[in-house]
């Protein structure tokens, strides 16, 4: 039987999320902030002469806030991740809890990180129009919802094909991948374009670098979450892998290699 309780799993999710948040926070601190600084310089030049509004926090505090944001989001995401893992792990590929964790993180990144980054890419400060923020928010979150529905549908389709057909595994995988690609293309075409034009004083290189940096931060968050949760869930506690109720040759092998 299971040796992880749900609270235990949840604690691992939160822990893995904290680790992932700190890792992504380092990307924020050393990579994204460089581009935010450049964008703020553009914004400042644009507003030169105008009556500037007083900032509530200094730049230094906001940089710390940027790291804190992704750490807090990482912990919360880890809790959701652990719950989702408990709910769907039977249907995930990977052959072990580590593999399943990485697979779930890959799906999460694709649906929640990559898909919106393609359709509504990140913008540095000074690009978005305040009047369109509600429209953009609805588009953004509905797209993520669409991505999650596709991910769920793809999983269901794979299960159906496995149960109802005698197709060999590569055929099944190809059919599922083709269906996923078609669904993603359809969603990208159906969802309307983002409403904001990029202001002409924002350099294309700045925009490109900021978007790459932002995607790197999101990718770091998901990748480290998947790997850390996988390690925390898979690695046996001392002696427990040898329990009679847990006769797992794979885990025994891991123990032999001393992975803790």
Partner 1 sequence: MASPAVPVRSRVPGLPWWSLVVVAAALFVVYAVLQENGVALGQVAQVVHEFFHDGRHALGVPCH
Footprint on residues 95-134 left by partner 1 (CB under 8 A) = 95-97, 100, 113, 116-117, 120-125, 128-130, 133
231 binds partner 1 (CB under 8 A): no
Least distance in angstroms from the C-beta of 86 to partner 1: 5
Cβ-based nearer residue to partner 1, 183 or 220 = 220
- Contact at 8 Å (CB) between 221 and 25? no
When binding is defined by CB under 8 A, the residue of 16, 42, 85, 103 that contacts partner 1 is 85
For residues 16 and 82, what is the distance between their CA atoms, to the nearest angstrom?
A: 9
11 binds partner 1 (CB under 8 A): no
Least distance in angstroms from the C-beta of 185 to partner 1: 21
Least distance in angstroms from the C-beta of 257 to partner 1: 17
Q: Under rule CB under 8 A, how many of the chain's residues touch partner 1?
A: 75
Residues 146-205 close enough to bind partner 1 by CB under 8 A: 159, 162-163, 169, 172
Cβ-based nearer residue to partner 1, 32 or 184 = 32
Q: Which of the stretches 41-49, 180-188, 199-207, 210-218 binds partner 1 when contact is defined by CB under 8 A?
A: 210-218
235 binds partner 1 (CB under 8 A): no
196 Rama class: left (phi>0) / alpha (psi -120 to 50) / beta = beta
Classify burial at 213, counting beta carbons within 10 Å of its beta carbon; exposed 0-12, middle 13-18, buried 19 or more.
Answer: buried
Least distance in angstroms from the C-beta of 93 to partner 1: 8
Take residue 170 and report the two structure tokens written for it: 């590569």
- Contact at 8 Å (CB) between 106 and 176? no
- Contact at 8 Å (CB) between 214 and 31? no
68 binds partner 1 (CB under 8 A): yes
32 binds partner 1 (CB under 8 A): yes
3-state secondary structure of 19: helix
For residues 126 and 41, what is the distance between their CA atoms, to the nearest angstrom?
A: 10
For residues 258 and 255, what is the distance between their CA atoms, to the nearest angstrom?
A: 5
For residues 148 and 150, what is the distance between their CA atoms, to the nearest angstrom?
A: 5
223 binds partner 1 (CB under 8 A): no
214 binds partner 1 (CB under 8 A): yes
When binding is defined by CB under 8 A, the residue of 48, 55, 189, 192 that contacts partner 1 is 55
213 binds partner 1 (CB under 8 A): yes
Cα of first residue to Cα of last residue in the chain, in angstroms, is 21
For residues 196 and 229, what is the distance between their CA atoms, to the nearest angstrom?
A: 38
Cβ-based nearer residue to partner 1, 83 or 153 = 83
């Amino acid at each position: 039987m299971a040796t992880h309780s749900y609270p235990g799993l949840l604690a691992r999710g939160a822990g893995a999320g904290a680790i992932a948040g700190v890792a992504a926070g380092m990307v924020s601190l050393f990579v994204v902030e460089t581009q935010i600084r450049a964008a703020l310089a553009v914004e400042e030049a644009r507003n030169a002469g105008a009556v500037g509004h007083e900032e509530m926090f200094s730049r230094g505090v906001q940089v710390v806030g940027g790291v804190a944001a992704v750490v807090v989001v990482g912990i919360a995401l880890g809790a959701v991740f652990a719950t989702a893992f408990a709910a769907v792990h039977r249907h995930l590929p990977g052959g072990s809890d580590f593999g399943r964790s990485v697979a779930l993180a890959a799906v999460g990144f694709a649906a929640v990180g990559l898909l919106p980054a393609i359709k509504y890419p990140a913008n540095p400060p000074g690009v978005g129009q305040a009047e369109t923020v509600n429209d953009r928010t609805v588009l953004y979150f509905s797209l993520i919802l669409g991505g999650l529905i596709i991910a769920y549908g793809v999983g269901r389709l794979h299960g159906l094909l496995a149960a109802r057909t005698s197709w060999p595994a590569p055929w099944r995988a190809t059919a599922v991948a083709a269906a996923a690609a078609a669904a993603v293309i359809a969603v990208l075409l159906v969802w309307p374009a983002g409403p904001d034009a990029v202001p002409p004083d924002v350099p294309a290189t700045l925009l490109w670098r900021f978007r790459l940096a932002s995607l790197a931060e999101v990718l770091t968050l998901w990748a480290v979450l998947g790997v850390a949760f996988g390690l925390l869930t898979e690695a046996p506690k001392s002696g427990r892998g040898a329990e009679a109720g847990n006769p797992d040759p794979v885990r025994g092998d891991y123990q032999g290699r001393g992975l803790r």
